[in-house]
Structure 1
């Protein structure tokens, strides 16, 4: 077989796969630079170097630094929400299921990279409100909707009594946070221990079940 035939027979990656990989490289580079320098301090040149791509390649996928940051927010928040709110089966013990979700949620919420992301988004949201809206829709709102679906299923089994599932879902998430997240956002260097997170979540579950637990089951 000639060398030309061998070359022709060799597998060639699909263009879509190459494009997807390049876009991922850009986002990976952007994540490192944004987290290190912040939004204002990050430059497209630095992002290109960090991602191992050319500056021209970045502009193939993103029109501006704002567009790139918005895409990064969207990807990171969606992945976090999907990981945090994966539900295993239909556990008849609602309190146990909510506790598992609450601890997973709060473990993510106190991570330094999450706190950095929230601060960056809050810092740019006034100038670029679309970025703030993207964070809100793909993070808190997506997570709240997923929990609302769970609450609706549990109510369908007669284990909860809820009129507004989404409102109840956000109430639960807010209860889980207590004052922990605010402290970190405003500069507290005291990262809560696992025991402190669990204590706050246990209190949130107790309050939630007192409000929404099926009366016949109480």
Structure 2
């Protein structure tokens, strides 16, 4: 019989609370000032502690940025893990993914983050690399694993599942998100229509032969 998980002690709880506070301040700093404009010193001053405390949790700004991305996408990754499982209605699962993905990438925070990365990646290539590894890549890997199983079961035509994942993500990103990044107002109804269209196009393209 499995033993119940032990509740964290007061010291561990304080450390976790402190870490969460750091991530909240850093998240605001990156979104408001960009990667280059957000300094470890300013984040430490905002927190009200010593700079050494901040560096004790995150030895570099790159690691702090990566942790902010992990924190921002953790709940979404959990939702995907729960969604992308074998079902009797593949089209419904793909549509649900598309709706959730379009909602995620067109949220105000996601749009600001995409603009931030696009603006700074030429000067700071590590920003783009960290962003891809922490945000798009885990989603693509989960989607590819799901598609690989569906192709094996014969419910999708055989192809490279990673390419299929990129195709579906591109279909979702090619409409509302692109227009919203450049400042256009897109209604929730229009975004849902984009998700429906992406799912329909994908399912027709990958229908079993």
Unaligned runs of 5+ in 1: 1-10
> How many residue pairs get matched?
203
Question: Residues 94, 55 of structure 1: CA spacing in aligned structure 2 closer, same or farther, 3 A cutoff?
Answer: same
Which residue does the alignment assign to 1:19? 15
Give 2:183's match in structure 1, choosing from 179, 183, 188.
188
2:132 to 136, 140, 144: 136
1:1-218 to structure 2, matched below 5 A, reads: 13=9, 15-84=11-80, 86-87=82-83, 89-185=85-181, 187-190=182-185, 192-215=186-209
Distance 1:64 1:35, change over 3 A: same
* Cα 1:118/1:172, change in 2 over 3 Å: same
Comparing both chains, which one has the higher relative contact order based on Cα–Cα distances under 8 Å and sequence gaps of 6 or more? 2
Structure 2 residues not aligned, in runs of 5+: 1-6
Structure 1 stretches of at least 4 aligned residues deviating more than 6 Å after TM superposition? none
Label 1:97 to 1:127 Cα distance change in 2 as closer, same or farther (>3 A).
same
How big is each residue's C-alpha offset from its partner over 1:123-162, in whole Å with a ceiling of 9 and x where there is no partner?
A: 3322332221111122111111111111122223221112
State the 1:24 CA deviation.
Answer: 2.3
Task: Assess if the C-alpha contact under 8 Å between 2:84 and 2:143 holds in 1.
Answer: no
Cα pair distance change 1:52/1:102, threshold 3 Å: farther
> What is the CA-CA distance between 1:205 and the residue it aligns to?
1.7
